[in-house]
Amino acid sequence: MVLKAILALAARLDAILSGASDWEAAEYHGQCLELLIAALAQPEDTYDDNLLITVVILRIYEELESSNDEKYHLFGSNRLLNTMSRSASSGGLAEAVSWQFLRQAIYASVVQYQPMQLDLENYERSAVFHRRDDAAYANVIIYLCARILQGGGAYTRGMDEETWRQLSDSVEQWHREKPVSWQPLKYKPANIAENRPFPEIWMMSPPAVVGMQYYHTSCIFLTLSNRHWQAASDYELARLQRVVEVRLF
């Protein structure tokens, strides 16, 4: 099952790069789906790491189908992940795939305006919260970003003040305490005259790049969900929101 998923994804990427037909990818994809559907029909206590890996690989395959990204396996993955607490926090390949899926779920939530349906308690037991390596530290901000989205931080604005402040403080604490290895090697400020509308930042660690992307994404979602509970009127609320947006961007 994992092999069929890998072959489907590899064939799909090859078709994209070569501009050729993706019939081979579709063939492997269909064969993999047959095996996956049969596995998902079994009792949940039979789900194993191979099933989780297959689902995540097929999700990557579907993301490449931008015109028809309907998340068929995303919902299957939700059901799978929410019953695999041990795999999501036990280390090894299964946990690595679980964190990859969390990033996929954030992507789907943002791009397709879908609520975050994952049980994040599966991730709260992970050892990444007790480690200081770059990859683990990046996963912490990914988790916080998911928490913000799950609280309605991007669309519904349904987060209460206490939760919002707790998440905001956690995000800023994460930023303050980031490792020295996350410091930029080179920085150029934005300069429209030089056709550089955004700052140019060179970083040494790939996880640091990912982590900073999710940090700024989290800040944006926190800004969107900041209801400025102390505002006395709608006008004051709009003014405060505008001030924060200017500071952020």
Supply the pLDDT for residue 111.
Answer: 81
The length of the chain in residues reads 249
Contact 142, 169 (CB under 8 A): no
DSSP line for 206-222: HHHHHHHHHHHHHHHHH
Kindly provide the b/e burial profile for residues 214-240, where b requires at least 16 CB atoms within 10 angstroms of the residue's own CB.
Answer: bbebbbbbbbbbbbeeeeeeeeebeee
Supply the pLDDT for residue 162.
Answer: 85
Share of the chain above pLDDT 90, in %: 37
pLDDT at position 68 over 70? no
pLDDT band at 86 (very low <50, low <70, confident <90, very high): low
pLDDT band at 77 (very low <50, low <70, confident <90, very high): low
The residue with tokens 């990033």 is 103
| Per-residue pLDDT reduced to its tens digit, 176-186 | 999 988 999 99
Average pLDDT, integer, range 53-65: 86
Contact 222, 164 (CB under 8 A): yes
Alpha-carbon torsion, ordered 37, 43, 45, 47, to 10 deg: -10
Helix (H, G, I), strand (E, B) or coil at 243: helix
pLDDT at position 3 over 60? yes
pLDDT band at 233 (very low <50, low <70, confident <90, very high): low
Alpha-carbon torsion, ordered 85, 219, 182, 179, to 10 deg: -60
pLDDT band at 14 (very low <50, low <70, confident <90, very high): very high
Helix (H, G, I), strand (E, B) or coil at 77: helix
Average pLDDT of the chain, as a whole number: 82
CA distance 75 to 205: 32
- The structure's pTM equals 0.80
Q: Which residues contact 4 (CB under 8 A, 6 or more apart)?
A: 28, 29, 31, 32, 35, 54
Strand partners, 166: none
